[in-house]
Amino acid sequence: MALFGGCGQTELTEQQADELQAKVTAGDKSALETLTSKAQDGDRLAQYNLGLAYDFGQGVPQDYTQAAQWYRKAAEQNYADAQYSLGMLHDLGQGVPQNYGQALRWYRKAAEQGHSYAQYSMGMLYAFGQGVPRDYEQAEQWFRKSSAQGNADGLRELGFMYRYGHGVPRNLVAAHALCSLSVALDSSANNEALACRTKLGEDLNTQESDDSHKLVLQIRSSDWSLQSLDQYIATNAPELKK
């Protein structure tokens, strides 16, 4: 008997898709057949999860070309996770030619649906001028959207913008607070916010350290609202560096 009542009858729920994905990752051939059949029948969750399997070599040989093909099918059905993943493949040149314009296109589609990692990735493309002219103000806007959802990468990059005054007033207290929030969410050694927080912590005076700590508490207690940050910047803003 086929899993989940056979192929082509109903769309998978997220729970069913996750269960199938786990079985595929564990090497369950029947689950792979079911997932593939559902994907071929046009189920966007199955298409996305099959793309994941090929992307990361979970239960199937790693194949970025196959991953891109399945992501695209789901992305064209407006599935935000697939749009983000397809954008990343274009960004990195995996399974498709590297094309920042295409990466931007798919990131934007996901970002406009509220996908926090796509919003962060949009910010990175604007910050480095990849696929678009460099635009720190656009980068800051996308990093803010990502940060407001508690995304560690978005918080880190927004912190870096305040550290260096790129498109925003340079403010080391804000930078320290944002990097601290990023580290609180992701304390892994590869999070560059860790070094940033440590270095800035050495440079801040006692009052500034207290202000940073208050900002951290206010942002976390307000479900990642940046209103307290904006209020602090408005009263502690030096000149804007272009």
Q: Where are the domains of the chain?
A: 13-99, 142-237
pLDDT in tens, 108-124: 999 999 999 999 999 99
Cα-trace Rg, the chain: 21
Is residue 99's pLDDT more than 70?
yes
* Token pair of 64 as six digits: 């970025």
If you average pLDDT over residues 157-171, what whole number do you get? 95
* Residue 212 CA to its chain's centroid (Å): 25
Is residue 8's pLDDT more than 50?
no
Q: What percentage of residues in the chain have a pLDDT greater than 90?
A: 90
Q: What pLDDT sits at residue 6?
A: 47
Is residue 63's pLDDT more than 80?
yes
Q: What percentage of residues in the chain have a pLDDT greater than 70?
A: 94
CATH value of 13-99 in 1.10.3720.10, 1.25.40.10, 2.130.10.10, 2.170.120.12: 1.25.40.10
If you average pLDDT over residues 179-200, what whole number do you get? 93
Number of residues in the chain: 242
If you average pLDDT over residues 99-112, what whole number do you get? 98
Strand partners, 169: 240
Residue 83's Cβ-count burial label (10 Å; 0-12, 13-18, 19+) is buried
pTM (two decimals) = 0.91
**Mean pLDDT, all residues of the chain:** 93
The larger pLDDT score, comparing residue 75 to residue 236, is at: 75
Q: What pLDDT sits at residue 72?
A: 98
Is residue 240's pLDDT more than 70?
no
Is residue 173's pLDDT more than 60?
yes
Is residue 24's pLDDT more than 70?
yes
Q: What pLDDT sits at residue 238?
A: 58
* Token pair of 161 as six digits: 């913008």
Is residue 4's pLDDT more than 60?
no
Is residue 7's pLDDT more than 80?
no
If you average pLDDT over residues 217-232, what whole number do you get? 96
Is residue 9's pLDDT more than 90?
no
Q: What pLDDT sits at residue 242?
A: 41
